[in-house]
Amino acid sequence: MIPNYRLVVPVWGERFVSRFVEYVLPTQLAPGNLPSLPAGRCNYHIFTPSDDAELIRRSHAFQRLSTLMPTFLECIDDLYLGHAYAAMTECHNRALALGRSEDCVFVFLSPDSLWSDGSFRTMHALVVAGKRAIVMAGPRVIAENVLPIVGERSRAADSSICLTGRDLAALLGRHVHHSARAYLWENGGNRGAGQYCWAVGDSGLLVRATHLHPVAVRPVNRATRLATNLDGDFVGRCCPDVSRIHVVTDSDEMCMVEFSDADYLEGYYSDTQLSRDAHLLFLERNTDAHHRDYLRRRIRIHATRIGPDWEHVEAESDAVVEGILRDFAAHQARNPSPKSNGATNARPVAGWVRSATRALLAKPLISATYGPLDPVSMKPEGRHGYVVDLLQVGIHAASDKDFQSSAGPRGVSRLVLLEDGTPLGPPHQMHDVIRNKGMGRFSHWGNGLYFSSSDNSDPRRNGRAYTLIVPQSLPGCLRRGWWKVMRRLRAA
């Protein structure tokens, strides 16, 4: 039986929305994509704020989409959008809830990806053949260079843009983004973990990656939700059987490229190659068996036919990946993960009691002041950004990573950062904006304080004092006390 499809895309902000309706959605409207999916089986959900919905609704691409399938503009005015990945996770969970009562394939589309014509037709054929998940790489290109070229292919008659996989591969070869270059394996190493890439001439890219974008997922357990980003453990929980996950290994089959502005993630990647230990640490902290299985696949993105010049590159990639996985297995054998103490048989607490208890424990009791922060604790990250490990200074408080749909525009964290007694801000900012724009922006995310000085000077050397005011809940106070005790014991 053919399942239902729910196609999902979260998008907000004038620039992203404009690019989505002008370039992204038209590539999805190519004849071999959305029009090729089974009629009467598809629903398209766009998660967007009400202010952006009208711009989408007026676009020719949206009007064309509405003739193909039921299309819904899902309002997300209640979401805190300061951290895009957390907001996207919440949008994806809302989409999963919409399809929970049916056998459903969720198609997760991003607002900044261009698709080759025929990709969705291939996706449907794989689903019909029994695949429960389809994952693929999406290398990044420079938006300012690529989008004008793509726009020239627009067809007014059906609001579509038709690109082949080789067209996209050619654009990638000529306009690869600097963040993608960081993963190129050159002279025995690269500058990013989790991906290992090789340029094949001027028109091909071989990709080996632990984290791939899950384009389509048909969950075994319909109650499955995301705990983090789509490329985390979600696919593994939805589809434990790796044999039913299809990894797209040839751009002639399906092809997608992401686009970002030229300065996106500028300064994020080190100028030096990562150590072997850094690669192993990444695998230990960020991957499961599914991710490491993806890494074994050769993904060919090519603008011309696959020729003999690929053989040497593929052999080198095999040696690199096998060596890293072998070292990782040896590392795991020397440092086994702690075993679980076993499942508890305790009766679960009633939902309302649990919610009330959490709310009570999260309520701030006092505000504590910390600082001035030691300049040694400030680690540079990007052009203007710095990060401080808050655990090292004994700060335990809810951060914006503890995302709540009801958090509103103020986010979750209530931490205040002062520069010589003057509050910095705005808070709750995206980390790439802090890195690239700075000017006092900051974010409290997990155990990290990501921040910039008010004038983008180096906070380690500008002579200013940086202090924090942190509302403390009861659990935070207890953790703070325990941290003090442990610090004194270590000092003794």
Shared domain check, 415 and 281: no
Residues 314 and 166 in one domain: yes
Burial class, 168, CB count within 10 angstroms (exposed 0-12 / middle 13-18 / buried 19+): buried
Whether the per-residue pLDDT at 152 is higher than 70: the answer is yes
CB 404 within 8 A of CB 457: no
At 371 the pLDDT is 87
Q: Are 304 and 200 in the same domain?
A: yes
Q: How many domains does the chain have?
A: 2
Higher local confidence (pLDDT), 271 or 341: 271
Top mean pLDDT of 143-157, 328-342, 362-376 is at 143-157
Question: Residues 468-487: what's their mean pLDDT?
Answer: 67
Residue 103 lies in a domain: yes
Mean of pLDDT values over 190-212: 94
pTM of the model: 0.79
Q: pLDDT, tens digit, for every residue of 338-351?
A: 543 333 344 444 55
Region 240-267: mean pLDDT is: 94
Final residue before a domain boundary, out of 286, 309, 331: 331
Give the residue with greater pLDDT, 435 vs 125. Answer: 125
Q: How far apart are CA 130 and CA 432, in angstroms?
A: 39
Q: What is the structure's pLDDT at 400?
A: 80
Domain assignment of residue 447, yes or no: yes
Q: How would residue 257 be classed by pLDDT, with cut points 50, 70 and 90?
A: very high
The CA-based diameter of the chain, rounded to the nearest angstrom, is 77
Cα–Cα distances (Å) from 24 to 75, 144, 153, 214, 253, in that order, read: 20, 14, 12, 17, 19
Same domain, 302 and 416: no
Position 175 in a domain: yes
**Tell me: the pLDDT tens digits for 163-175?**
999 999 999 999 9
- Is residue 349 included in any domain, yes or no? no
For residue 149, give Cα distances in angstroms to 20, 153, 275, 344.
15, 7, 38, 58
Do 318 and 467 lie in one domain? The reply is no
How much is the pLDDT for 135? 98
List of residues 6+ apart from 230 with CB closer than 8 A: 88, 89, 92, 108, 213, 214
Is residue 114 domain-shared with residue 244, that is, in the same domain? yes
Which region among 119-128, 377-386, 483-492 has the lowest average model confidence (pLDDT)?
483-492
What is the structure's pLDDT at 399?
83
Highest mean pLDDT pick, 150-154, 201-205, 399-403: 150-154
In a domain, 337, yes or no: no
Same domain, 317 and 370: no
**Residue-number span of the structural domain to which 457 is assigned:** 361-491
Angle of helix 309-334 versus helix 276-286 axis, rounded to 10? 70
Same domain, 277 and 370: no
370 and 311 assigned to the same domain: no
Question: What SS3 class is residue 332?
Answer: helix
Q: Which two structure tokens, joined as six digits, stand for 310?
A: 């690929």
Distance CA 89, CA 224 (A): 13
Residue 348 counted as domain residue: no
pLDDT tens digits, residue range 53-100?
999 999 999 999 999 999 999 999 988 787 788 889 999 999 999 988
In a domain, 352, yes or no: no
Query: Residue 458: what are its φ and ψ, rounded to 5°?
Result: -75, 115
Q: Is 453 left (phi over 0), alpha (psi -120 to 50) or beta?
A: beta
The pLDDT, as a whole number, for residue 480 is 57
pLDDT of residue 81: 80
Domain membership flag for residue 325: yes
Q: What is the pLDDT of residue 259?
A: 97
Residues 216 and 306 in one domain: yes
Let me know whether 256 and 107 are in one domain: yes
**Average pLDDT in the chain:** 88
